[in-house]
Structure 1
Amino acid sequence: MLSTVRRLGVRGPAVVAIFLIGLFAIGCSGAALQGVGAPGATAAPGVATGDAARGPVEGDQNGSGNQPPAAPADPLIIKTGALSLQVTGLDAAVTAATQKVDGLGGYVSGSDRSGDGENASASITFRIPAARWDEALAALRGLADKVLTERSSTEDVTGQVVDLGARIKNLEATERALQAIMDRATEIKDVLSVQAELTKVRGQIEEMTAEKGHLVEQAAMSTLTVTFSLKPNPVRTEQQGFDPAAEAEQASASLVSVLQGVATAGIWFGIVWLPILLFFGIVAGVVLVVSRRFRRAGPGDDTPPVAPEAGSAA
Structure 2
Amino acid sequence: MKRWIAIAILLLIALAVGACGSASAPPTESRAIPQGITTQVVERPAEMPRAAEVLSAEESDGTGGASSLAPLTADSLTDVRKIIYQGNMVLFVEDTEQAAREIQAMAESAGGYVAQMRGYRQGDRVIYDITIRVPAEKFENARNALRELAVRVDSESVITEDVTDQYYDIEARLKTLKETEAELTELLRETRERGGDVDEIMKIYDRLTRIRADIESLQGQLNRLDKLVAFSTLDIHLEPHILAEPIKPQDEWSFAEIVHSSINTLVDILAGLATLAIRFVIIVAPVALVLLLPLGLLLWGLKRWQRWRQQRHED
Q: TM-score, normalised by structure 2?
A: 0.66
Q: Partner of 1:206: helix, strand, or coil?
A: helix
In structure 2, the CA distance between the partners of 1:302 and 1:105, relative to structure 1 (3 Å rule), is closer
Does structure 2 conserve the Cα–Cα contact (< 8 Å) formed by 1:72 and 1:158?
no
Q: Partner of 1:297: helix, strand, or coil?
A: helix
Q: Give me the identity figure in percent.
A: 28
For residues 83-122 of structure 1, the aligned pairs below 5 Å read 83-115=89-121, 118-122=124-128
**C-alpha distance in structure 2 between counterparts of 1:210 and 1:302, whole Å:** 117
Cα shift at 1:115: 3.5
Q: Partner of 2:149: helix, strand, or coil?
A: coil
In structure 2, the CA distance between the partners of 1:216 and 1:297, relative to structure 1 (3 Å rule), is same
Does structure 2 conserve the Cα–Cα contact (< 8 Å) formed by 1:122 and 1:229?
yes
Cα shift at 1:239: 6.3
| Aligned equivalent of 1:229 | 239
Q: Partner of 1:242: helix, strand, or coil?
A: coil
Q: Which amino acid aligns with 1:227?
A: H
The answer to whether structure 1 residue 256 and structure 2 residue 239 are counterparts is no
Q: Which amino acid aligns with 1:99?
A: A
In structure 2, the CA distance between the partners of 1:160 and 1:291, relative to structure 1 (3 Å rule), is same
In structure 2, the CA distance between the partners of 1:287 and 1:296, relative to structure 1 (3 Å rule), is same
| Aligned equivalent of 1:174 | 180
* 1:164 aligned residue (157, 170, 174): 170
Structure 2: segments with no counterpart, 5+ residues: 1-76
Q: Partner of 1:96: helix, strand, or coil?
A: helix
Q: Which amino acid aligns with 1:114?
A: Y
Count of equivalent residues: 232
**C-alpha distance in structure 2 between counterparts of 1:128 and 1:153, whole Å:** 15
The answer to whether structure 1 residue 298 and structure 2 residue 294 are counterparts is no
The structure that has the greater radius of gyration is 2
| Aligned equivalent of 1:136 | 142
In structure 2, the CA distance between the partners of 1:241 and 1:294, relative to structure 1 (3 Å rule), is same
The answer to whether structure 1 residue 286 and structure 2 residue 297 are counterparts is yes
**C-alpha distance in structure 2 between counterparts of 1:117 and 1:271, whole Å:** 47
In structure 2, the CA distance between the partners of 1:206 and 1:242, relative to structure 1 (3 Å rule), is closer
Post-superposition Cα deviations, 1:217-275, rounded to whole Å, max 9, x if no partner, equal 10111111223233352655x76553211110221121012112201211221111111
| Aligned equivalent of 1:214 | 224
Cα shift at 1:109: 2.2
Q: Which amino acid aligns with 2:275?
A: T
Cα shift at 1:155: 1.7
Q: TM-score, normalised by structure 1?
A: 0.66
Q: Which amino acid aligns with 2:127?
A: S
Which is worse superposed, 84-93 or 154-163? 84-93
| Aligned equivalent of 2:129 | 123
**C-alpha distance in structure 2 between counterparts of 1:242 and 1:175, whole Å:** 85
Does structure 2 conserve the Cα–Cα contact (< 8 Å) formed by 1:121 and 1:230?
yes
Post-superposition Cα deviations, 1:19-66, rounded to whole Å, max 9, x if no partner, equal xxxxxxxxxxxxxxxxxxxxxxxxxxxxxxxxxxxxxxxxxxxxxxxx
**C-alpha distance in structure 2 between counterparts of 1:269 and 1:142, whole Å:** 70
| Aligned equivalent of 1:204 | 214
Cα shift at 1:124: 2.3
Instruction: Note the aligned Cα RMSD (angstroms).
Output: 2.6
**C-alpha distance in structure 2 between counterparts of 1:177 and 1:226, whole Å:** 50
Q: Partner of 2:253: helix, strand, or coil?
A: coil
In structure 2, the CA distance between the partners of 1:105 and 1:239, relative to structure 1 (3 Å rule), is closer
In structure 2, the CA distance between the partners of 1:285 and 1:100, relative to structure 1 (3 Å rule), is same
Cα shift at 1:148: 3.5
| Aligned equivalent of 2:257 | 246
Q: Which amino acid aligns with 1:182?
A: L
Cα shift at 1:79: 1.8
By percentage of residues, which structure has more helix?
Answer: 2
Cα shift at 1:111: 2.1
